[in-house]
Amino acid sequence: GVSVIPAQPLTVSLYLAHLVRESRSNNQSASAVETAVYSIRWAHNMAGLPTPTDHSTVKAVLQGARRELSRPVRPKEPLSEQSLNHLADYYNKDSASLEVVRFLFIVIIGYSGLFRISEILAISLNDINILGSSMSITIHKRKNDQFREGHTSFFSRSGKVTCPVSITERLISLLPSGTEFRSSPVVRRIIKSKKHERFHERLGICYSTALESIRKFISPFVSNGKDYGTHSLKSGGASNSGFKQLKDELMDRHAGWKNPRSKYRYMKRSSEELSGITKAMNV
């Protein structure tokens, strides 16, 4: 005798309370409750009916679920400039394997370009334009780019062991040649045989492989490798001391931030910077 659509606010509230109990017993977050609310809202909107999720009782249950099932946010540690230099000094050798070169490209480009891992894995040869002392990489699809306008980031050739242009050129030189492969991702799978190893002509790698590679090579240079992940590259670049000294306009332009306040979610302040606050206050 329960009306499915349109659903009654009391029915929805009882259902959400049931999900809260299940989530609590399974030590889960409020995502299941939130998903149920969004789904019910979507179904009623599609049917052209008033949604019960706008009722004050349903809203109260949802807010209660978020409070009761909330968990402390533990963002990944940003990769420091010092750690990046140590990584490049140790791994960026002439004898580096394909896996190491691929890892260095992911880390250096992700750090210097403030890219998400999904953006790095989608880069193809057609997206890279190298012009002597500089390079540009075009990202066609970004998380905050709702209208698919795309974004182009520019990199300067530094001549350092962490040079993003040099590591890009090195990775490209190891890829199979041919115009038919230019639309394939530059971060590709490695095919190993008894005699040698080579990059696949077309197939890229998945997120889990990239994460495993990052933790594998970073762990010897940090206190706890589990505190670092793919997001450590973007937050590390944003926390770079030189980057933080740029004008807001340049920071937003390089990182592709639509909202100027987005940068503050990624920048991590050092203890020296934070302790300098009271010093500036003369107390």
- H or E element in which residue 173 lies: helix 164-174
Question: Residue type for 121, please?
Answer: L
Eight-state DSSP code of residue 259: S
Phi first, then psi, for residue 132 (nearest 5°) are 60, -100
Can you state the angle between helices 231-238 and 207-218, rounded to 10 degrees? Answer: 60
- The distance from CA 130 to its chain's CA centroid, rounded to whole angstroms, is 24
Phi first, then psi, for residue 234 (nearest 5°) are -65, -45
Residue that has been written with the tokens 């998945």 in this structure? 206
Q: Report in angstroms the alpha-carbon separations of 163 from 40, 91, 112, 171, 270.
A: 50, 13, 9, 13, 25
> What pTM does this model have?
0.78
In angstroms, the CA 105 to CA 171 distance is 7
In angstroms, the CA 12 to CA 14 distance is 5
Q: What is the pLDDT of residues 95-110, one digit of tens each?
A: 999 999 999 999 999 9
The predicted pLDDT at position 58 comes to 95
The predicted pLDDT at position 46 comes to 94
Does 258 or 118 have the greater pLDDT score? 118
Question: Residue type for 1, please?
Answer: G
Segment 156-182 mean pLDDT? 92
pLDDT interval class at 147 (50, 70, 90): low
Which range of 109-123, 241-255, 263-277 scores highest in mean pLDDT? It is 109-123
Q: What is the pLDDT of residues 191-249, one digit of tens each?
A: 988 888 999 999 999 999 999 999 999 999 988 888 999 999 999 999 999 998 999 88
